[in-house]
Amino acid sequence: GAGVSQSPSNKVTEKGKDVELRCDPISGHTALYWYRQSLGQGLEFLIYFQGNSAPDKSGLPSDRFSAERTGGSVSTLTIQRTQQEDSAVYLCASSPGGRADNYNEQFFGPGTRLTVL
Amino acid sequence: KQEVTQIPAALSVPEGENLVLNCSFTDSAIYNLQWFRQDPGKGLTSLLLIQSSQREQTSGRLNASLDKSSGRSTLYIAASQPGDSATYLCAVNADFNKFYFGSGTKLNVKP
């Protein structure tokens, strides 16, 4: 079946502009995660959505970052007034949730490479 | 806070060798441990998932073990091939929705 998809695959923007990154999780997956991977760094947790529960936003680095998940499916990560230090690969993952044996197994999308000039 | 360490950071082996990648974590209270591979410029591909109640998982030439009490997991790759060249990451699910990733082991399998 279809995996996690993300768009755009690459985004180049100017400092100070706003950007929106999109994630389409695997159909039926209830959990969705956003991570950031900076060059040579490990994965940094940003935000977690589970069903209709309030999201865990504890990893968002500043109030310029926000995310929403509409209808329990597609998610959008928005970065306002982008800064050069926001340049990174933004990865989205989803998990089945529920009673599946692999309820907490993460499946990743290909990522969006963001470059802020 | 959970700390995840992967050793070695890089490894280069000739084709056909069996090899072991190591992952250690500081807090044994985990839900699961997952191994991924990441190819350059790509996302992460799930290789093996070991729940906290399990000791090992196998998929093809890959075998992953988990020893919670000592805070260790190993990924064993049998008969390595050039196509196995990638960065291998382990991730520990410590809190319900928090996953802590190691920095990875970059593997190069030489033909």
What pLDDT, in 10s, does the model give residues A73-82?
999 999 999 9
Nearest to B43 among A48, A105, A110 (CB): A110
DSSP assignment letter at A28: T
Question: Burial code of B5-23, b = ≥16 C-beta within 10 A, e = fewer?
Answer: ebeeeebebeeeeebebeb
- What pLDDT does residue B42 have? 87
- What pLDDT does residue A29 have? 92
Q: Is the peptide bond before A8 cis (omega within 30 degrees of 0)?
A: yes
- What pLDDT does residue B18 have? 97
Cβ-Cβ pairs closer than 8 A, A with B, add up to 50
The count of other CB atoms within 10 Å of the CB of residue B97 is 20
pLDDT digits (tens, 9 = 90+) for B14-42: 999 999 999 999 999 999 999 999 998 88
Give the Cα separation of A53 and A11 in Å (integer). 30
- What pLDDT does residue A1 have? 58
Nearest to B44 among A56, A102, A108 (CB): A108
Q: Cβ distance A5 to A109 under 8 Å?
A: yes
pLDDT of A8 strictly over 70 = yes
Chain A residues at the B interface, defined by Cβ less than 8 Å, are: 4, 6, 31, 33, 41-43, 45, 48, 50, 56, 91, 93, 102, 104-111, 113
pLDDT of A23 strictly over 80 = yes
Chain B residues at the A interface, defined by Cβ less than 8 Å, are: 31-32, 34, 36, 41-46, 49, 89, 91, 93, 97-99, 101-104
Which residue positions in chain B have pLDDT lower than 70?
A: none
- What pLDDT does residue A40 have? 73
Q: Which residues of B touch A41 (CB under 8 A)?
A: 103
Smallest Cα–Cα separation from B46: which of B57, B34, B55? B34
Paired tokens of B24: 């250690």
Q: Cβ distance A37 to A43 under 8 Å?
A: yes
Q: Cβ distance B26 to B3 under 8 Å?
A: yes
- Cβ of A105 and B43 within 8 Å? no
Q: What angle do CA A100, A105, A109 make, to 5 degrees?
A: 125
- What pLDDT does residue A90 have? 97
The count of other CB atoms within 10 Å of the CB of residue B81 is 12
pLDDT of A15 strictly over 90 = yes
